[in-house]
Structure 1
């Protein structure tokens, strides 16, 4: 009997697959290696190939589509409800296959190689910035043990530390001075890595047509533009701009029961990193809204005056997300008149 839906439980070395027929009955169960999986897919008649969103799922989905299958990536939290009995790889593959047969099951858009490459650059940059903060805090803590304080902000630490290391009268033990010098070299290395990856993202923002269009939107620079492209792609998976904002968690959370609607704070669902970047970009636009006069700025000024700055920034980030989606899907540059409509 032919396989209509194939559920794949991806692992690092071993992969379990379960095939369902048109009636949803299991007709195939296999344990494969990664090479064996691609060989199995190449010999399989075109069908729906489903897997959970995880490391490597986009790569497998692209390979499956190249072989003529319809690849589907499912959010893991929605697959969990289809798991029955004990937790094991075969049961997980069965749950994935059964979840994929539901017509209302949400799907994760498959990323292309370029999107994943950009995303890895952002994750590396984010990790190096975090490490840099940790090293800076460690340096401050060591200096404080010997009564030496440095003003807040990492720039102040960069300026003060060479002088502290060179000062022979600050009573720092030689072992501590050597340790601080090693941390200072590590901090400089992390600075160089962040600068290098940032310049690569800026170059990608100019080269990629989608990111270049996003650069025309106020509050969106190379970092936000490339992060948006890595997460959203061309935006075709969303029917309207509000869907994109809801996916990013920038719309109010709804709690309706008994026919009584209740709207709470923003849902904070989806990509936290991109949502944070968009809110910071909106803060910049708010801060300089009085320096330009166009339709979007005239829309912003009353908003900034009647509510708290943080709420205004989130509302503007919601607006800019919808504008960015329109710029991507329509293939045109930003127009202030259309954005303020």
Structure 2
């Protein structure tokens, strides 16, 4: 068992023998780790799931080793005394020997490329939102109120720029620069959306996920970038719980209370699923389907935001069923709440 504590430049290694005793301690660069591990006989290589771990994991896997990645929070209880790199490496090796340890699936290069595409798009969307708020604030200080929706905002802004604004010439030039920057961001986001749509058309699993109302292209490709090739679904993984969309439970005195959602797991996918559920809730309410009936009953007795989160959890479980059984979404099939 070889535990590796990854660093930006140097890494600490701790090797355990069959009895669990520390038989090896080394510190070397990342390039040196690859060369060193290649000379070892086939063994289990354990690392924390952090930046660069998936690349090294694929490299060690190609060398014939078994790679195990773990969340850092599961390694922390095995660190002895004060935290050092050597003790971290030993704790990683010891933690991965536990039979109940939860492991992180090794991502392929295609999954990482898709994840980078989503992160780049998210950064552009955030920049566009900030720029939109700045445009509205600048004009609001001059008595001009712009609408909230993007399409209406662009149309109104073009009308104002082509007409006579009751502001200084310098302010008009600045607004023109901001409008051009906004248009550039919008074009780049559109190009990423087109690329994600093309990936969805070419992938059977993504096409099946896109048939679910509220999932769409963004959520379908984001799920494929986060989950493995289906083996986790064969083991019955609860995708809603994995994304932190299920309520936490607190038991005391033999009584169980439901608290808020745990908010564990992948934050980006959780947010996107909630956005998709908010957009699809009106669609489900109008449909004479089992899911539509469930949403209508829930809307009658709960806050809309609570309904949105509950629907997002249902969409996550529906996505699990679609990937698990390999078929498209059937609107008439009841989905377990």
Task: Check whether the contact 1:250–1:266 (CA below 8 A) recurs between aligned residues.
Answer: yes
Deviation at 1:324, TM superposition (A): 1.0
Rounded Cα–Cα distance in structure 1 between residues aligned with 2:172 and 2:243: 46
Given the two structures, how large is their TM-score scaled by the length of structure 2? 0.91
Please state if 1:320 is matched with 2:315.
Answer: yes
Structure 1 residues 311 and 101 mapped into 2: Cα distance closer, same or farther (>3 Å)? Answer: same
Pick the aligned partner of 1:213 from 208, 215, 222.
208
State the aligned residue count: 336
Rounded Cα–Cα distance in structure 1 between residues aligned with 2:6 and 2:259: 37
Please state if 1:86 is matched with 2:88.
Answer: no
Q: Which runs of 4+ in 1 moved over 6 A?
A: none
Task: Check whether the contact 2:322–2:328 (CA below 8 A) recurs between aligned residues.
Answer: yes
Deviates more, 1:191-200 or 1:206-215: 206-215
Deviation at 1:178, TM superposition (A): 2.8
Please state if 1:267 is matched with 2:262.
Answer: yes
Deviation at 1:145, TM superposition (A): 4.0
Structure 1 residues 162 and 298 mapped into 2: Cα distance closer, same or farther (>3 Å)? Answer: closer
Residues 272-319 of structure 1: CA deviation (Å, up to 9, x unaligned) = 221222223223332023544334334443333343332222222222
In structure 2, the partner of 1:14 is 10
In structure 2, the partner of 1:76 is 72
Which structure 2 residues correspond to residues 1-341 of structure 1 after superposition, within 5 A? 5-168=1-164, 170-174=166-170, 176-238=171-233, 243-340=238-335
Given the two structures, how large is their TM-score scaled by the length of structure 1? 0.90
Rounded Cα–Cα distance in structure 2 between residues aligned with 1:169 and 1:189: 23
Residues 186-240 of structure 1: CA deviation (Å, up to 9, x unaligned) = 1111111110101111111111121111122222211111111111233432566
Rounded Cα–Cα distance in structure 2 between residues aligned with 1:239 and 1:231: 16
Deviates more, 1:101-110 or 1:299-308: 299-308
Structure 1 residues 295 and 163 mapped into 2: Cα distance closer, same or farther (>3 Å)? Answer: closer
Rounded Cα–Cα distance in structure 2 between residues aligned with 1:14 and 1:293: 60
Rounded Cα–Cα distance in structure 2 between residues aligned with 1:148 and 1:259: 60
Deviation at 1:166, TM superposition (A): 4.4
Rounded Cα–Cα distance in structure 2 between residues aligned with 1:286 and 1:164: 36
SS at match of 2:139: helix
Residues 255-287 of structure 1: CA deviation (Å, up to 9, x unaligned) = 224543222122121112212222232233320
Task: Check whether the contact 1:17–1:30 (CA below 8 A) recurs between aligned residues.
Answer: yes
Structure 2: stretches of 5+ with no match in the other structure:
none
SS at match of 1:261: strand
Rounded Cα–Cα distance in structure 2 between residues aligned with 1:117 and 1:193: 17
Rounded Cα–Cα distance in structure 2 between residues aligned with 1:290 and 1:259: 37
Deviation at 1:163, TM superposition (A): 3.9
Rounded Cα–Cα distance in structure 1 between residues aligned with 2:294 and 2:24: 59
Rounded Cα–Cα distance in structure 2 between residues aligned with 1:164 and 1:156: 12
Task: Check whether the contact 1:146–1:172 (CA below 8 A) recurs between aligned residues.
Answer: no
